Amino acid sequence: MEFIIAATKEMVLARVAEYCPADLEFVKRACEFADRVMANKEPRGNGLPYSTHYYSAAYMLLEHGHANGIDVAVLICHDTIEDGEIISVRGKRPVRENDIIQYLSNGGEYSLKAKRVAKGVEALTNFKREEFAGDRIRTRAANFLKATEVFVKDLRVIPYRLYDRMHNMLTLGDKPEKEKQLETALDTLMVLCPFGKSLGMYDLSIKMEDIAFSFLMPEVYQKTKEILDHRIAETAEQMQQLIKIYSSLLTSKKIPHVIETDYLSVYALHKELEANGGYSNRVHNLRVINPIILSSDIEMCFDAERIIKESSIVCRGLGNDYISTPKDNFYQATHTVVHGRKTGAMYQVQVCNRMMSEINHFGLPAYMTLRANHPNRKNFDRILETKRRAIEDNLHSRRESGESYDLSDHLNSEIFGDIITVYTPEGMPIVLPKGSVPHDFSYRLSERIGNHTCGALINGTFINELDGFATVLEEGDCVLIKYVASKLPKMQILLEARSHVKTAGACKKIGSLINVMTRPPKLSTNPRLIGTARINWHKKP
């Protein structure tokens, strides 16, 4: 993957002509508009023209594939509303959304594309950082919530923002203020990178993580990088031998393939070392061998995995099949950890096909491009909808409760955590965060069912309301909810359930039910109803 800091308009247009030639004239108009309204913008800290920023962001998007003319135009124009200015005989004024539409539409020829570009630019403008002087936690949390709101409105805004930030990170050392460098690095590491990973954009996210890590903890970064370089160097020869063996075996079985290699990023290794007491020899995914099967036949991936296992010393208990059960960020591959015969070093072998490899590296942009022919399209679309719904529930809960900037464990687990798929008896899949309980399931079906839940049948075993709130659902469980429409749970059950649920929606709805049940009844002035209101008010949800 190529990262660049000084792209020009000519470089961008050359890539557009190669990858999406039908959009060339439209992108040219976007370039003309951006150059015109940003002409008075001061050079960047490295002395290069400001145009290198938006052209570099657009060039990286094109180089990484899966972009169309609208995506490119959004990145080229992404700073125009915030920093651009229109100069006319009446003087100067800020750029407005309608200015983008009017110029890019070219008399109506590209009106639909122009409106989509203007919408994307407006969303990116609303995504800009908020600052709370002297309060980093509040600043980070406020920007996290802003990112979630943008995510709900338009999924593609997050990738746009990541490419914009990627160029800023590549030139972070050119910022004169040390404090600004650290703030940008922390915001990137804590807010944008988790969002990028949740959308499967690994290559971009891990590069930004390493840059941010090098600014925030330079000494630790350097020490960790030395450990990584040492481990790579000492096993490089054996790794090449394994690649030759695997390639020869796959060729003999007539399985078309290419084999790529990869290594853990510096920041990821730092986290693994923290988890393993500082011992790098316990990190099983430090070195990665990635056979890519050049066929759409998924069975060939499993055949390749079996051949590799039969010819290797396999570390039991460390393998995973993410092809049959993809991760919630679209990742698909089979994982097998093998031992080197001489050094004893561990290598993670990740087998996938070409389509899977593209999505594993580039995430959501690649999936949206390949979506029409993707075999897991329904499942992945359901996962995206689950993420969006989780965010909407959480944001709605905040507005009701008056929370302004507190981070939420529920939201973190639903966006960035692992997920499971459980099923109704009719076979309808319900996607939930890992660690969910029956109340999460029942509220995902409907609020009415959730409010009246009094038990659950999980894989044929009945769980009553006293134990149900603490029973964790597992992948593939079949769940039947028992509820009585005329009966509400006891207050103790609701309080316990609220402390165990994982989804923000279930937590919010249980809280609302508790408020209703504890609220004093509104007494009627009607003589016929006096004496009955206090008895009957709580019988309806």
Measured distance CA(284)–CA(272) in Å, rounded:
10
Residue 384 counted as domain residue: no
Residue 311 and residue 363 share a domain:
yes
Orientation of helix 377-401 relative to helix 504-518, angle to 10°: 40
Measured distance CA(243)–CA(169) in Å, rounded:
34
Measured distance CA(453)–CA(459) in Å, rounded:
17
Residue 109 and residue 84 share a domain:
yes
Total domain count for the chain?
A: 3
> pTM score, two decimals?
0.72
The tens-digit pLDDT sequence of the chain (541 residues) is 568 888 899 999 999 998 889 999 999 999 999 999 998 888 888 788 999 999 999 999 888 777 788 989 999 999 998 888 888 777 888 888 899 999 999 888 888 999 999 988 888 776 655 554 555 555 555 566 666 666 556 667 788 888 999 999 999 988 878 888 888 888 888 878 887 887 888 889 999 999 999 999 999 999 999 999 998 888 888 899 999 999 999 999 999 999 999 999 999 998 888 877 777 777 888 899 999 999 888 999 999 999 999 988 888 878 889 888 888 778 899 999 998 776 678 899 999 999 899 888 888 778 777 766 677 677 667 766 766 665 565 555 544 444 443 444 444 544 555 567 788 887 776 777 778 888 888 888 888 888 888 888 888 888 876 665 678 888 778 888 888 877 777 787 788 888 888 877 788 788 888 887 777 655 445 554 444 433 333 333 3
Contact 337, 314 (CB under 8 A): yes
Residue 247 and residue 203 share a domain:
no
Domain housing 409: 390-518
Residue 231 and residue 119 share a domain:
no
Nearest residue to 368 via CA among 156, 192, 165: 156
Four-residue CA torsion sign, 87, 89, 93, 99? negative
Nearest residue to 293 via CA among 370, 339, 349, 366: 349
Residue 293 and residue 160 share a domain:
no
Residue 164 and residue 255 share a domain:
no
Residue 363 and residue 426 share a domain:
no
Look up the CATH number of the domain holding residue 329: 3.30.460.10
Residue 143 and residue 87 share a domain:
yes
Residue 510 counted as domain residue: yes
Q: Is 274 exposed, middle or buried (0-12, 13-18, 19+ CB in 10 A)?
A: exposed
pLDDT for the residue numbered 299: 92
pLDDT for the residue numbered 517: 79
113: Cβ–Cβ under 8 A, 6 or more apart, which residues? 23, 26, 69, 70, 73, 104, 105
Residue 432 and residue 283 share a domain:
no
